[in-house]
Copies of this chain bind each other. A is one copy, B any other.
């Protein structure tokens, strides 16, 4: 299973009715132009070079007035990506994240994200498959052992219910230990026990374990991400994903990302560069 990047949300824009201005683009691109013009209250368009949205935003990039690119945003849903990738990704502090939790979701059937350079070599591929399958088996065995252990600990807890009134138990139980209505705050819950088992067992899961993550960022943050991660120096997985994000961003907001150009390195892999970004 390969990585997938789905564009799931973007900015919708409607200009206020009492501003005498319109433009030839929609959504976040129009919003960026609106924000730029609001700074100077320059609603008329005397200069043909900046009279189109494309021309206006090209000028914004040229002069580096990048804060107007913070109003439009885009959300991607990444699946089929590794925990190595997300460990790097989430260092980008201007994005917002919602990620599949290994503490809440059991990984008995976890998929593995295999680096291309390994997958294309039969011998290395075999080693990878064996190693990751062994890890998932160890995870599954640890998980079973831990669930039993945690359940046994819970059974030994002094916090246990008793029925303090004759009749049906429901709603009439209290804790033997602390006398609070059952379940008391110290009562071991099934959810808590499962979480405790999973968070310990996941220690043996490899970096290659598949994860899924929702990532939202404004245009400026995505430009920075691509400028940093679509370069030769970046890890192969994050680079491929950054290039894919760029392609989709160029469809949804072409005037904001038009300066990035995708080229191929001698090894056939892709990078993206722009005259307006610096890796920093």
Q: Is the CB of B127 within 8 A of A142?
A: yes
| In the complex, A151 has a CB within 8 A of chain B | no
Within 8 Å by CB of A98, from B36, B97, B100, B159, lies B36
Q: Is the CB of B135 within 8 A of A206?
A: yes
Contacts A86-B87, A128-B203, A204-B132 given; indicate if A31 touches B16 (C-beta within 8 A).
Answer: no
Q: Is the CB of A131 within 8 A of B127?
A: no
Size of interface on A: residues with Cβ below 8 Å to B: 101
List of B residues within 8 angstroms of A39 by Cβ: 98-101, 104
Q: Is the CB of B121 within 8 A of A149?
A: yes
What residue in chain B is nearest A94 (Cβ atoms)? B93
| In the complex, A15 has a CB within 8 A of chain B | yes
List of B residues within 8 angstroms of A186 by Cβ: 265-266
A 121-153 binary contact with B (CB < 8 Å = 1; else 0) = 101100110111011001101100110011001
A 92-113 binary contact with B (CB < 8 Å = 1; else 0) = 0100111111111100000011
Question: In whole angstroms, how far apart are the Cα atoms of A97 and B39 in the complex?
Answer: 10
Stretch at the interface among A164-172, A210-218, A241-249: A210-218
List of B residues within 8 angstroms of A105 by Cβ: 40-41
User: Please, could you name 8 A-B residue pairs with CB atoms under 8 Å apart, sorted by A?
Assistant: A6-B16, A8-B16, A9-B72, A11-B11, A67-B96, A84-B199, A84-B203, A127-B145
Given contacts A38-B99, A87-B87, A132-B204, list 9 more A-B pairs with CB under 8 A.
A8-B14, A11-B73, A38-B77, A39-B100, A70-B96, A84-B203, A123-B145, A128-B138, A203-B208
Q: Which 10 A-B pairs have the closest CB atoms?
A: A131-B138, A70-B96, A35-B98, A115-B200, A203-B208, A6-B16, A93-B93, A12-B12, A71-B216, A9-B13
